[in-house]
Homo-oligomer: A and B are copies of this chain.
Amino acid sequence: MPDNLHIALLHYPAYNKRGEVVATAVANMDIHDIARTARTYEISKYYIVTPIASQRLFVESILAHWRPGGVAGSYNADRSEALKTVFVKKSLAEVVGDIRFCRGREAKLVATGANLAGNLISCADMRRLIGEGKEDYLVLLGTGWGMAQDVIAAADYRLEPISGAGQYNHLSVRAAVAIIIDRLCHGR
């Protein structure tokens, strides 16, 4: 499956409700749900990114809890398996460095967001690029009220927002990731 596709959930820099740039809190459900989606579609790595040390420790403690041999790892081996895809990093730069180290090339950055407009790439086109295998791609997922504008501006691609039936598109990040990954990877 696409070993050139990676995803990162960015807790910084993110907007809060008032449009200020903040570090959002890591939600336990985001760790589990997105790891299960990533594992199901055999995404290479799922990075959780936060500059706050105590938040990284929080994620690491959950991963340890579910590790094979950990407290919960023997209770639900499938969950344990999913969480193997999760890696904790302190910045987007660290994620990019990890991909460069593991894959020997720079990842192309793919911004996502419910409000992206302008020069967008469709899921179908992105899917084809990933399938060609000539580049590594890192899909960036926002939290809070979306990722900061400078991250979007620095990305190589901006993915078309997931639209449903009308104007309303306030999906949870857990649902949005599932739909994006399915559109990019289903049937490969």
Contact = CB atoms under 8 A, between A and B. Distances in A.
A182 interface: yes
A179 interface: yes
Nearest to A75: B17
Main secondary structure of the interface of A (DSSP, over half): helix
Contact of A170 (B2, B82, B162): B82
Contact of A174 (B42, B172, B183): B172
B36 A170 contact: yes
A174 B186 CA distance: 18
Contacts of A170: 36, 39-40, 78-79, 81-82
A144 to B, nearest CB: 12
A165 B179 contact: no
Given A171-B36, A174-B172, A164 B179 contact: no
A42 B163 CA distance: 11
A1 B166 contact: yes
A138 to B, nearest CB: 18
Interface in A66-104: 76, 78-79, 81-82
Tell me how many chains of this kind the complex includes.
2
Interface in A148-168: 162, 164-166, 168
A33 interface: yes
Contacts of A18: none
A23 interface: no
Given A32-B172, A171-B37, A164 B178 contact: no
B29 A168 contact: no
13 contacts: A29-B29, A37-B164, A37-B171, A39-B170, A41-B164, A42-B165, A78-B170, A164-B186, A171-B178, A174-B174, A174-B175, A175-B175, A176-B178
